[in-house]
Every structure is written in C-alpha cells, then in structure tokens.
Amino acid sequence: MSTLQESLKDPPTQRSTHALAGRAAVRNFGWIMLDKALALVFGLAVFGLIARWFGSAASGHFAYALALLQSALGLSLVCSAAALLPRLYRMRTGIAATLANVFVVRLIGSTLAAIGAALFALLVIDDPVRLEITLLILLSVPLIEPFYTAVVYWQSRNDNRCPTLSRAAGLFTRAAVVILAIFLGAPLWVVALAWVCEACVSALLLYSSVRPLATLRMFVQRVSPQRSLTYGRFGVRFLLGLWLASLFVRLDRLVLGQLLPAPEFGVYASAMQLVDVWLQVAYLTGFAVGPAFLYKALAASDWWQLWRVAAMLAGLGCVGLLGALLFGEMAMRLVFGAQFTGGAPYLVAGTAFGVLLFIDQVVQLKVTAGNQPLALAIKWASACLGAVAVQAATYHALGAFAGPTGLAAGIVCGWIGVWAALRSAPGPALKRATA
C-alpha cells in the first residue's frame, strides 16, 4: 500500500516541479523581452529627439559614431556569453574567481578595441564635429563590455531581473542627459556624453548586483594571470567571426558615411536605424528556434526540417518588408519628423535585405552549433568583403541604395564562403557538438 501511495504522490510532485520551472522560465523570458523593448523604445526616442532638434546632418554624425561603437563592442568580445554561459551554469563554487578573471580579459579586450576604433576614427573622419562625437562615445566601450560579465552570471542563473533594471536605469540616464542638453541648448558633444553617463550608471548597478558574491578586494585577490590567459585563449577562438558579424550589419553606414553628403547620410542612417530594430527580431527568433527546432535537425542532417525553418524565417522577414512598403513613410515621420520621410525607400530596401538575414539565422546556427570558429570567420569575412566591393562598385549608379544592395550581396557571399569551408568539415564533428 505504501508503494502505491508513493506512486500516486509522485506525479503531482513532478507536475508541481515542472510548473514552477515553467513559471520561472516565463518570468525570465518576460524580463528579457522587457529589456529588448526598453532598449528599442529608448534608442529610437533618443535618436528621434536628436534628429528633430539638431537636423539630419547631426543625426548622421551620431549614426556613424554609434555604428563605430557597436563595431568596437563586437571587437571586444574576447570571452563572449556564448563561450562563458555553459561554464557558469555548471559552477557552484569558485564563481567569484571566474567573474574576476573574465572581467580582466574583457577589460583588456574592450580597451584595445576602443583604442583601435579611435585610431580608425582619427584616420578616416574629416568632419571635426563627427570626430568629436565619435571619440566621446567610444569612451563608453570599456565601461560596457567588461561589466556585462555580471549580466552573463545572472543569465547563467536564469534571472534577468537585475540586468534589465540596470539597463533601464542606464537608458533613462541617457534620455535624461539628452533632454537636458536640448533644454539648455548645449552643443552636440554634451549630447554625446549621454552614452558615457549611461554606461557609468549601468556599470555601477551591475557591479552592485554581484557584490554579495565577493567584496571588491576579494575580486581583485582572485585575479590570476594564468587563469585570465586561459579564459582569453578559450574565448578568442570565436572573436574574429563574432566581430565580423557585428561589423557586417553596420558596414553600409561606415562606407556611405564617407561618401554621402552629411544631410543625405542622416536621412539614410535614420531609415537604417529602424531596419536595425526589425533585425533584432531576426536574432531573437534565431535564438528561439535553435533549441526548439534546429539543433536536433542539424545533428541528424534533417534537411527537410532545415528548409522548413528557413522558409518560416523568410516568411517572417517578408512580413517586415510588407510593413515597410505599407507604413514606411508613416514610421519615418512618426519617429524622426516630416523632414525624414524621404528615407522611406531606404527603409524598404533595408527590410528587403533583412529577408536574407532572417534566412541566414539557419546558416549561422549550423556553424556555431558545429563549434567551427574558422568557418564562422570565413563566412563573415566573405560577407564583409562582398558587401564593401558591391557598395563601392554600385555607389555612383545607385547612390545610398548601394548600402542595402551591398549588404544583400554580402549575405550571399557569406553563404558561398561557409559552403566552401564546410565542404571539408567532417560530419561526425557536428554530430558530437550538437549531441
């Protein structure tokens, strides 16, 4: 009888455990979505304020500076979350030492990335206002990436509340500084300081969130050159591919920013800012469909399933294209003002390129799930080279439309490059990596 009673009690216990886990997962997903929503809303609102108040030339300066900022952040991903998350998830002791050493690796990487981006800016930017804005915004790089080590820790604990609240406080600070600068009639370099203030506030709050793990002195004492070097070597394998991927989607602004007149570039860059918002859906969808549909299909070489997922992603990308065709002009007027409605055709062209980027999530997952950093680097190097070549070749004929055209061609070049790289890759390696 006791055995029967225990067997009757087990299912409710299991169900309650699964229910608790399910609620925790839903709650954490809600925090992630809130984080993305806040970033998009505040980002567009601040960019829209700058465009409305200072004009298209100033918005172009900020668009160029932010493109270089994101490229520098991509270059500083020496030990990315993808490499660190599985280790932190399994760890129950020694967490403070791991966080301290990874922080040092990221601090060194982000500082070098900021210096490299600043040197690039000094070499290629002629406009003194754009140069001043860019150099100030790049100061935030060493304040962003190293402190995101705390974000990775909280992600490993399936708890995104602290990172979301920290980011929200930083975003609010950025918006407040921009609004105050506009109210006081401050010059553009004061507006650029908003990104540095945002990074300082977020960094302070993220550090405070991991203070219960160890004091500052204890964190410093746990830094070991040998262990930091180990994490650096482990994470650096994917660095080139990840940085090139981050650089690729901003190549159009880095190239056209040197070719287009400042007012026209500001209109184009504003349209592509909306495209960037839409492309976030592609990345989030890629993260979602990987565990749900693709990893098992990749291991089993289930090509029918892969094509089905690719078609689903292409359909989702076409929804964005249709939205841009129907409501592009309205969106440009609503966010940036009536003087930016001429950017609606660029918005359509950008979302058309986005259809290919949606499909590319399947290719990207195949490479990363197979643990093939060389193939990843070849993929995005081919994409970057192809994009720049097409943009340079078509600029005189297409004008600003050379930007999205080059990006679309770059995606295709990336597929060709990764196909050539994976032809020689052994199949069993992918199966072991995704098992």
DSSP per residue, 94-151 = SHHHHHHHHHHHHHHHHHHHHHHHHHHHHHH---HHHHHHHHHHHTTHHHHTTTHHHH
> 403, 366, 149: which is closest to 259 by C-alpha?
403
For residue 169, the number of C-alpha atoms closer than 13 Å in the C-beta half-sphere is 13
Gap between the Cα atoms of 146 and 355, Å rounded: 33
- Rounded CA separation 308/412 (Å): 19
Q: How many CB atoms lie within 10 A of CB 189?
A: 13
Torsion angle in degrees (nearest 10) through CA of 355, 360, 362, 366: 180
Q: Where are the alpha helices (DSSP H) in 295-426?
A: 295-299, 303-336, 344-369, 373-398, 402-423
Three-state DSSP class for residue 222: coil
Under DSSP, the state recorded for 273 is H
Residue of 338, 316, 345, 363 whose CA lies nearest to 404? 345
pLDDT-flagged residues of the chain (< 70): 1-26, 28-29, 76-92, 234-235, 284-305, 368-371, 424-435
Return d(Cα 148, Cα 153) in angstroms, integer: 9
Q: State how far Cα 424 lies from the chain centre.
A: 30
Coil, helix or strand at residue 187: coil
Q: Which long-range contacts (CB under 8 A, 24 or more apart) does 28-34 make?
A: 28/158, 28/159, 28/160, 31/159, 31/160, 31/161, 31/163, 31/164, 32/160, 32/164, 34/164
Cα 84 to Cα 126, 231, 301: the distances in Å are 40, 9, 27
pLDDT at 433: 38
What is the amino acid identity at position 391? Q
pLDDT of residue 44: 86
Place of tokens 């989702």: 316
Q: Rounded CA gap, 397 and 391, in Å?
A: 10
pLDDT recorded at residue 432: 41
Please give the angle made by the CA atoms of 109, 113 and 117, to the nearest 5 degrees. 175
